[in-house]
Amino acid sequence: MITKDKFHIGGRWVAPAGSGSIDVHAPADGALLARIPQGAKADADAAVAAARQAFDAWAATSPAERGEYLKKIHDGLKARGEEIARTITFEMGMPYKLSLRVQVGSPTATFGMYARMAGDFAFEEQVGHSKVLREPVGVVVAITPWNYPLHQIAAKVAAAMAAGCTLVLKPSEVAPLNAFALAEIIADAGVPPGVFNLVTGYGPEIGEALVTHPDVDMVSFTGSTAAGKRIAQLAAATVKRVALELGGKSASIVLDDADFGVAIKAVVNNGYLNSGQTCTAQTRLLVPARRFDEAAALAVAAARGFRLGDPMDPATTLGPLASKAQQERVQGYIRQAQAAGCQLLTGGADLPEGVNPAGYFVAPTVFGPVDPQAAIAQEEIFGPVLSIIPYRDEDDAVGIANGTVYGLSGGVWSASDAHAENVARRLRTGQVDINGGPYNIMAPFGGYKQSGNGRELGKYGLEDFLEYKAMQFRPPKA
């Protein structure tokens, strides 16, 4: 068992104010994996004080110098990539071969991107007789989830540091060990004390203490819509800037002229990535009603092609869910859907055969045809559960796709990119994959409606951590 008993505050590893601890369990077998500190208000206060003390000096460093520190962090992540990938696999369950590429590859690339961008970004410009500056917003609290733990941390930490902000990070207590590794790498990179601070604990205690702290200028949160609403309410008392990346219920529209064999397999793979624990997962598959049977057969075949098991086994393609609570939540949705009359095509709530019964596994599951207003078609399940929804025509497909409170992502498949783009332009979502277009860390990431506000990644993520200042000069006399 791994024991972490200190926080990283003000450039030092310090003992928590209290003696509480949180157990971290391995989802593959339910075993006790680690124990971390349970932080309290006093720890939040200490971390914010350290970030506040470090802010002026860090904000005054040149963007190029900040970029040099970020490059050192990038190099440190790259050097420890295999170790961190194993850690994330152990703590949240993604198969190791995917963790290496996704859970570590993406955040490493993100630090590298902001290392380059810091020196190139236009932090000031001349507008007539005004000089417009882009200045760091100040002390940032970053609260991150467990599904892509280091990726979500990097999207906030790298951008905020590049902008000249100082931070307090509170990672999810479900998958926190990667954050401790990052803190070590940041310390080894020689980042000035207080620029980055790490605390752990539960949201209602240390999380709310951080969000309501008067010396915090901004909160950047990724997680559930319910938690995001709570954070927005708490932060409003001190008029903080709040960036929220929340839930999703993304639809992928397969148009009648698409290659169904390619498209539907790709949508199933998208929906089941990370065992469905992806906010952008396209878990609503929209197909022409007259071709429902064809689409359903292809989706079931793709779902049954996944191999569940030990996430360290190279043959495993679908790992467990991250926690017992998440497993029970997903199983509950499946049972409720069956009770409501939704037709189960494959999978189900029973523990899959051949897996460790103590692990948090859920079988890859497909329902169809599903009413667009059914709970499994409206609510974020966060598990390997796909709903196939038939549509009459393209207008109906767009209406169904837009017919949830979310607007994070989506996809459109067609024989031509132009046809798909025409439909994609009508979707009220922050991202749309055209014919399976891959993820791009240079593009803005975020959503419409109750999927949140603000954007991460690329120059757009950097801009989220900056304030405008306009300085007016006397125009020269004619």
Tokens of 230: 């709570």
Question: Any catalytic annotation for residue 245?
Answer: yes
Strands 284-288 and 385-391: parallel
Dist CA 158 CA 106 (whole Å): 12
Task: Find, among 224, 221, 203, the residue nearest to 379 by Cα.
Answer: 224
Helix, strand, coil distribution of the chain in percent, nearest 5: 40, 20, 40
Dist CA 259 CA 251 (whole Å): 17
Question: Any catalytic annotation for residue 205?
Answer: no
Dist CA 354 CA 216 (whole Å): 49
Which position among 91, 165, 173, 279 bears the catalytic label?
A: 279
Task: Find, among 297, 327, 321, the residue nearest to 308 by Cα.
Answer: 321
Rounded (10°) angle between helices 417-424 and 394-401: 50
R_g of the chain computed on alpha carbons: 23
Say which residues have a Cβ less than 8 Å from residue 344's Cβ, sequence separation at least 6.
334, 337, 338, 365, 366, 367
Tokens of 271: 């929906």
Which position among 91, 165, 173, 245 bears the catalytic label?
A: 245
Are 456 and 151 within 8 A, CB to CB?
Answer: no
Are 320 and 310 within 8 A, CB to CB?
Answer: no
Rounded (10°) angle between helices 105-120 and 63-79: 160
Dist CA 48 CA 140 (whole Å): 9
Query: Which H helix or E strand runs over 230?
Result: helix 225-236
Three-state DSSP at 467 gives strand
Dist CA 102 CA 466 (whole Å): 28
Dist CA 146 CA 268 (whole Å): 22
Q: Is 301 exposed, middle or buried (0-12, 13-18, 19+ CB in 10 A)?
A: middle
Task: Find, among 119, 142, 118, 116, the residue nearest to 196 by Cα.
Answer: 142
Tokens of 160: 């905020």
Active site (catalytic) residues: 245, 279
